[in-house]
A and B are shown apart, each in its own frame.
Chain A
Amino acid sequence: MAELLPELLAVRGVSVRFGGVQALTEVDLTARAGDITSVIGPNGAGKTTLLGVINGAVTPLGGSVRLDGADLSGRPIFERAAAGVVRTFQNLEIFSNMTVLENVMTGGHLHAGYTLLDSLLRTPRFRREEKRLAALCREKLDFVGLAHKAHLPAADLPYGEQRLLEIARAIAVEPKLLLLDEPAAGMNNKETQQLGAIIRRIRGELSIGVVLVEHDMELVMDVSDRITVLNFGRILAEGTPREIQDNPEVVAAYLGED
């Protein structure tokens, strides 16, 4: 059945070097629309770097990144956002100088249908569009359960909620593909469960494809359709959660880590 879904993201043969560190070597990753695709691996395996390559923050030595068949290689980050790729950050990058709602409205930057002149003249279009955007962003906050905190300074949110805010901000871009970098880091059990539900609803209700980088194996095994395992910048295995759990190499890599 999974074979019927179209390829949303196709990363092919990507390699990355940082000075002397070979962070990725010939990595492939495929994410199908309507799938939750996870990338796991020990610290330093290159997961964040891979997300960076997909959203344009990291320039690879070679290889290609395609979204819905269109080549994204060489295009800057903001154009990729417009094309439908958005990410969250492992080390939270909340806009600490704004309120919660303003953070999400920044995510809606591309959907505010007015020009600078409209904002200077406060035209009806400006008012209408800002109102629409605010309502839309409130919905996104509601989606992650933060609607009641819309007007608090974002910096005042506890850590777990800042992670949710990053997700709300990202889905306000209305992407085709959402890249989540360790969204459960720093969350307690209950929050992690809620996060799992949110990730499923992102796929189910919003029809956004998800690439999830995560260390919490319970969460990963629970929500993923496919899993790719990275180790030292190379692909160690790829398959369904079952296949991955039964893969002796993967087990060895993880046992070897601690």
Chain B
Amino acid sequence: MAVSARSLQLAVFAGLLAAAPLALPNDYYINILILCCFNALIVMGLNLLMGYAGQVSLGHAAFFGLAAYTTAFVTATAGLPVWAGVPAGIAVSALVAWLIAVPTLKLQGNYLAMATLGFGIIVSIVFNEAVNITGGPSGFVGIPRLKLLGYAFTSDTAYYYLAAGVLWLATLVSRRIIDSRTGRALRAIHVSEQAAQAMGVDIARHKRFVFVLSAVYAGVAGTLYAHHLTFVAPSSFGFNFSVQLITMVVLGGMASLWGAVAGAFFLTSLPEFLRVFEEMDILIYGAMLVACMMFMPSGLVGGLGKLAAWLKRKLTANPTPGQKPGQKPGLKADSRG
């Protein structure tokens, strides 16, 4: 269905990613763009888990951090090359996710939220306290810059194109998973585990798969992050960051691929724009969260969709059936992306 429309979206996205640095001349902005790509990558995985499969994770920052610290340790402490550190980081994230997935994903609702939250906090405490390995609260310094196949990503623009390319690839992978039997199974689990199982879906396996996949996305982002900044500190991987990630998912629009990207880019760059308000930025950030959720509950993409529908109604003056009233957006929600 609409295969060409989906290819077109991906092509446009590639174009936008490629053109973005041209519109933003200085390195400061390029660095923000790079961070946007990292966050979008994590959020895209989290959205597969939360938006599509309906499983909340309040501890996703941990997977991002585990990968970052692992590659930092492998490359800086153990002195192995970067091409060994990156897969090791991703593998550790995936392995930890795989291990905790079985008991965790049996839980539902607030209990699942609590378990993932607890996991995230424990990991972040380890980052802070295992000073010998992580460098403790003051951080891990001296991580080498990324160098792959003899090419050193010294310029920020080169690094941006790497991050953007990875993000685009992740988008393609997500799209293809969503539009397959696996994607349907995940969406089915979101709405009714009973019905999904009755149709022959092994829900434990699918939940574990999507949990590990989301950890891999976060792991990829984590390793790229570490080799970009060459410095990591535990404060980047704590509860606050987990919450920010969730907010990006919900603000972008649950179960929407482009929502995840939009949410990540918007919320990552927002503080940069708010910087002009000096100390007030945190206030504005909080206020925007509340306001967006109050007035745009289906997220940026849902809000734009509604606006488009409204415009269309106005223009054609031909009433089209809108959303059914009383339909709740969000976890138990509809919306395809």
> Is there a direct interface between A and B, measured as CB atoms under 8 Å apart in the complex?
yes
Question: A95 to chain B: which residues have CB within 8 Å?
Answer: 187-188, 191-192, 195-196
A94 CA to B188 CA, complexed, in Å: 9
Contact A119 B327 (CB under 8 A): no
Is A96 an interface residue, CB under 8 A from the partner?
A: yes
Contact A97 B190 (CB under 8 A): yes
Which parts of B190-241 form the interface with A (CB within 8 Å)? 190-192, 194-203
Question: B1 to chain A: which residues have CB within 8 Å?
Answer: 151
Contact A81 B190 (CB under 8 A): no
Is A211 an interface residue, CB under 8 A from the partner?
A: no
Contact A97 B197 (CB under 8 A): no
Question: A126 to chain B: which residues have CB within 8 Å?
Answer: 180
Question: B185 to chain A: which residues have CB within 8 Å?
Answer: 106, 109
Is A76 an interface residue, CB under 8 A from the partner?
A: yes
Is A169 an interface residue, CB under 8 A from the partner?
A: yes
A82 CA to B179 CA, complexed, in Å: 22
Which parts of A146-174 form the interface with B (CB within 8 Å)? 151, 153, 155-156, 169-170, 173
Which parts of A64-108 form the interface with B (CB within 8 Å)? 76-78, 81-82, 86-87, 89, 93-99, 102, 105-107
Question: B190 to chain A: which residues have CB within 8 Å?
Answer: 97
Contact A119 B177 (CB under 8 A): yes
Contact A97 B200 (CB under 8 A): no
Contact A77 B334 (CB under 8 A): no
Is A2 an interface residue, CB under 8 A from the partner?
A: no
A126 CA to B177 CA, complexed, in Å: 12
Q: Out of B187, B194, B336, which one reaches A57, CB within 8 Å?
A: B194
Task: Give the distance to chain B from A74, nearest Cβ to Cβ, in Å.
Answer: 15
Question: B106 to chain A: which residues have CB within 8 Å?
Answer: none
Is B333 an interface residue, CB under 8 A from the partner?
A: yes
Q: Out of B177, B201, B202, B324, which one reaches A106, CB within 8 Å?
A: B201
Task: Give the distance to chain B from A239, nearest Cβ to Cβ, in Å.
Answer: 29
Nearest to A110 among chain B residues (CB) is B200
Is A255 an interface residue, CB under 8 A from the partner?
A: no
Is B176 an interface residue, CB under 8 A from the partner?
A: yes
Question: B173 to chain A: which residues have CB within 8 Å?
Answer: 120
A58 CA to B2 CA, complexed, in Å: 40
Are A109 and B181 also in contact (CB < 8 A) when A96-B191, A122-B176 are? Answer: yes
A116 CA to B185 CA, complexed, in Å: 12
Contact B200 A116 (CB under 8 A): no
Task: Give the distance to chain B from A100, nearest Cβ to Cβ, in Å.
Answer: 12
A89 CA to B197 CA, complexed, in Å: 12
A153 CA to B324 CA, complexed, in Å: 11
Contact A78 B191 (CB under 8 A): no
A130 CA to B1 CA, complexed, in Å: 11
Is B9 an interface residue, CB under 8 A from the partner?
A: no
Contact B177 A153 (CB under 8 A): no
Q: Out of A57, A78, A102, A170, which one reaches B184, CB within 8 Å?
A: A102
Is A112 an interface residue, CB under 8 A from the partner?
A: yes
Q: Out of A76, A93, A114, A156, which one reaches B194, CB within 8 Å?
A: A93
Contact A169 B199 (CB under 8 A): yes
Is B154 an interface residue, CB under 8 A from the partner?
A: no
Contact A86 B198 (CB under 8 A): yes
Is A49 an interface residue, CB under 8 A from the partner?
A: no
Question: A106 to chain B: which residues have CB within 8 Å?
Answer: 184-185, 187-188, 196, 199, 201
A76 CA to B324 CA, complexed, in Å: 36
Question: B194 to chain A: which residues have CB within 8 Å?
Answer: 57, 77, 89, 93
Contact A78 B182 (CB under 8 A): no
Task: Give the distance to chain B from A92, nearest Cβ to Cβ, in Å.
Answer: 9
Are A78 and B197 also in contact (CB < 8 A) when A96-B334, A116-B180 are? Answer: yes
Question: B198 to chain A: which residues have CB within 8 Å?
Answer: 55, 57, 77-78, 81, 86-87, 89, 93, 170
Most chain A CB within 10 A, of B173, B188, B335, is at B188
Task: Give the distance to chain B from A177, nearest Cβ to Cβ, in Å.
Answer: 12
A170 CA to B198 CA, complexed, in Å: 8
Task: Give the distance to chain B from A255, nearest Cβ to Cβ, in Å.
Answer: 34
A112 CA to B184 CA, complexed, in Å: 12
Name 5 A/B residue pairs within 8 A (Cβ), A-sorted. A57-B197, A95-B191, A105-B184, A119-B177, A155-B334
Known: A82-B200, A93-B192. 8 other contacts (CB 8 A): A78-B199, A94-B191, A95-B187, A97-B336, A102-B184, A116-B182, A119-B179, A119-B180
Closest 8 CB pairs of A and B: A119-B180, A81-B200, A93-B195, A77-B197, A93-B192, A112-B181, A110-B200, A106-B184
